[in-house]
Chains A and B, each alone.
Chain A
């Protein structure tokens, strides 16, 4: 094991850069790497470019060709993931045995979590569709169809992977009129069909508009080939939720006055005030059958008389 000296950043910018890459509770948006293999065909290169465009702000396009075989040796990919701080990758290659090949995968802690090999069958580039496109960086609506995604375990994992890959940056609010991009993934006939659309909102007489779709962008047909999924143990670790993320109980019954005093509210059940147990005051004991006030006085005088008698005896 190499004993590494901890390199402390010397500038504020350097420190912020490293802090950004550290494990956090609230994570960054996942960055995807687009890698070309030793030999790529025109189709594969074009596909990688277009996928990169879909993922524009959170995507890194590798310019050089890398002779890597993902299913045999994952160390190179893991090294790339560490250097680029990316947790998704799309690797494209072409060979006689595996023509127009794509390997889609994701990392956990810079080690491969799962990988799926997809063969491209039909590809229509976005330049073949002559119409207006969506702007870069819009958050897409991703729609999956087909029973396979539910019934087959491999397909279910692939669905999770595709969802993770194509969903955009995490947002809390969206501009409804800005929902332009729709990605559709359908599993039919042992193939997966990937289509990209642009929405056109039309009047519908109600508040909710009628949606019409126009096909733009890349259109791909995939065949699922090899796959490598992580062990259940690894998935468990990856899916662990941080305890701080669990909502802390909002303390509704505590408040502060303007002077800074802490005030609390206690909610009581309904009590029967007649049978309430307060401090015992012997003098206020109610005599049986007598008037309250008189009884009190009588009681008091009686008790004192008794005491005097006892003292005398």
Chain B
């Protein structure tokens, strides 16, 4: 009976041993980052065993760790794309430093700000538009565009239009003005994105200015003198204009006593908080100063030129140290570094 049991067990073991196990025993679980296919095994390495046979140890270690990593990877959700089985990797868990700095968000153009406030959405336009004249679809812009008015050989003049002006020239000029305006706005947008603020355009020439434009033009003309309009005389019926610009407010001379007191005390307070004395630095300065005095004048007394003692100790006596820094830059800088 016992033999039979043993036989059965042996047969079972043989069957199982046909395939090698995928189980790996580790003291400390290894850290796996499947998103990046990385694994870190913090288990201590048996140095003795390692030294006895390096390559074998490393191979075995690699195999074990790879097995653990693969065990994890095979449990991931799987997709089938064109008869290829793909595993979907999760987000990587290890954080790596970026390659470049974060991009600065581009500042919005004037139109974009306005559109955002008003809630205007960008409507997608079709490239081809129906051209009634040619009875076909033509591109909206570019070569062979639809509704092209530059190709008109005839322009009907309205009854109220000026008979002397050339309508063809008028059209081309209007087009030029529009492109110039667009270009100006584009450049101002670029300047605004780079420098933040751009100065205003000022007054643009208009053929028939209205009341507001005229008054503005008048004000600007008065101010555009060398002394910024200080000595320009007023026109006979002109009203005195208010001062434009930032208004500055000053405290009254005799006013709130409490406020004045508080202000003065604040000033005194900030002054009283003198920077603390850096004792180490002060000590160093004092010591270096003493050294200078000592080297310059030996035995404490002032040296006289032509003194015998002076001549003997000429080599020893050093001139006083010059101020390190700016004054010495041009003179002894290069020699000092010894490049």
Residues of A whose CB lies within 8 Å of any CB of B are: 22-25, 27-28, 30, 87, 106-110, 113, 139-147, 149-150, 159-160, 163-164, 167-168, 170-177, 179, 182, 184, 186, 188-189, 193, 195, 197, 199, 202-213, 215, 235, 237-240, 242
Q: Are B62 and A203 in contact (CB under 8 A)?
A: no
**Chain A residue with the shortest CB-CB distance to B44:** A147
Considering only CB atoms and an 8 Å cut-off, how many residues of chain B contact the other chain? 55
Bound-state CA distance A235–B51 (Å) is: 37
Q: Are B39 and A143 in contact (CB under 8 A)?
A: yes
List of A residues within 8 angstroms of B81 by Cβ: 173
Stretch from B98-106, B118-126, B171-179, B221-229 that touches the partner: B98-106
Stretch from B67-75, B232-240, B247-255, B296-304 that touches the partner: B67-75
Q: Are A203 and B100 in contact (CB under 8 A)?
A: no
**Chain A residue with the shortest CB-CB distance to B24:** A211
Q: Choose from A145, A163, A186, A209 the contact partner of B22 (Cβ within 8 Å).
A: A209
Give the interface SS of chain B, mostly helix, strand, loop or mixed: mixed
Bound-state CA distance A238–B95 (Å) is: 10
**Chain A residue with the shortest CB-CB distance to B16:** A205
Say yes or no: is B325 at the interface (Cβ < 8 Å to chain A): no
Bound-state CA distance A28–B312 (Å) is: 74
List of A residues within 8 angstroms of B86 by Cβ: 173-176
List of B residues within 8 angstroms of A145 by Cβ: 40-41, 43, 45, 61, 65
Q: Given the interface contacts A184-B58, A240-B102, does A211 sit within 8 Å of B97 by beta carbon? A: no
Q: Are B89 and A174 in contact (CB under 8 A)?
A: yes
Apart from A147-B43, A182-B66, A209-B70, list 7 A-B contacts with CB within 8 A.
Answer: A109-B101, A174-B86, A179-B73, A199-B66, A210-B19, A213-B62, A213-B66
Bound-state CA distance A170–B71 (Å) is: 21
List of A residues within 8 angstroms of B38 by Cβ: 141-144, 163, 167
Bound-state CA distance A202–B88 (Å) is: 22
Bound-state CA distance A28–B66 (Å) is: 28
Q: Given the interface contacts A22-B103, A23-B102, A144-B40, does A176 sit within 8 Å of B85 by beta carbon? A: yes
List of B residues within 8 angstroms of A242 by Cβ: 102-103
Q: Are B98 and A207 in contact (CB under 8 A)?
A: no
Q: Are A207 and B97 in contact (CB under 8 A)?
A: no
Say yes or no: is B87 at the interface (Cβ < 8 Å to chain A): yes
Q: Choose from B21, B54, B65, B99 the contact partner of A108 (Cβ within 8 Å).
A: B99
Residues of B whose CB lies within 8 Å of any CB of A are: 16, 18-22, 36-45, 47, 50-51, 54-55, 58-59, 61-63, 65-67, 69-71, 73-75, 78-79, 81, 84-89, 92, 94-103
Bound-state CA distance A147–B63 (Å) is: 18
Bound-state CA distance A23–B78 (Å) is: 33
6 contacts between A and B (CB under 8 A): A171-B89, A175-B84, A193-B54, A208-B22, A210-B22, A213-B59
Q: Given the interface contacts A143-B66, A184-B62, A208-B70, does A237 sit within 8 Å of B101 by beta carbon? A: yes
List of B residues within 8 angstroms of A211 by Cβ: 22, 63, 66-67, 70
Q: Are B66 and A142 in contact (CB under 8 A)?
A: no
Bound-state CA distance A139–B37 (Å) is: 8
Bound-state CA distance A22–B84 (Å) is: 35
**Chain B residue with the shortest CB-CB distance to A181:** B37
Q: Are A143 and B85 in contact (CB under 8 A)?
A: no
Q: Are B42 and A147 in contact (CB under 8 A)?
A: yes
Bound-state CA distance A107–B99 (Å) is: 7
Q: Are B41 and A212 in contact (CB under 8 A)?
A: no
List of A residues within 8 angstroms of B58 by Cβ: 184, 186, 193, 195
Q: Are B44 and A25 in contact (CB under 8 A)?
A: no
Q: Are B98 and A239 in contact (CB under 8 A)?
A: yes
Of residues B43, B50, B59, B98, which shows the largest number of chain A Cβ atoms within 10 Å of its Cβ?
A: B98
Bound-state CA distance A142–B75 (Å) is: 19
Q: Given the interface contacts A184-B61, A208-B74, does A141 sit within 8 Å of B69 by beta carbon? A: yes
Q: Are B36 and A195 in contact (CB under 8 A)?
A: no
List of B residues within 8 angstroms of A193 by Cβ: 54, 58
List of A residues within 8 angstroms of B94 by Cβ: 160, 163
> Which 3 A/B pairs are nearest by Cβ-Cβ distance?
A238-B97, A205-B19, A23-B100
Q: Are B37 and A167 in contact (CB under 8 A)?
A: yes
Q: Are A206 and B85 in contact (CB under 8 A)?
A: no
Q: Are B22 and A140 in contact (CB under 8 A)?
A: no
Q: Are A173 and B42 in contact (CB under 8 A)?
A: no
Q: Are A208 and B97 in contact (CB under 8 A)?
A: no
Q: Choose from B67, B74, B101 the contact partner of A176 (Cβ within 8 Å).
A: B74
Q: Choose from A139, A142, A182, A208 the contact partner of B71 (Cβ within 8 Å).
A: A208
List of A residues within 8 angstroms of B79 by Cβ: 173
List of B residues within 8 angstroms of A177 by Cβ: 85
Bound-state CA distance A265–B89 (Å) is: 33
List of A residues within 8 angstroms of B73 by Cβ: 176, 179
Q: Given the interface contacts A174-B86, A203-B19, A204-B21, does A179 sit within 8 Å of B36 by beta carbon? A: no
Q: Choose from B22, B67, B85, B103 the contact partner of A175 (Cβ within 8 Å).
A: B85
Q: Given the interface contacts A176-B87, A184-B62, does A143 sit within 8 Å of B41 by beta carbon? A: yes
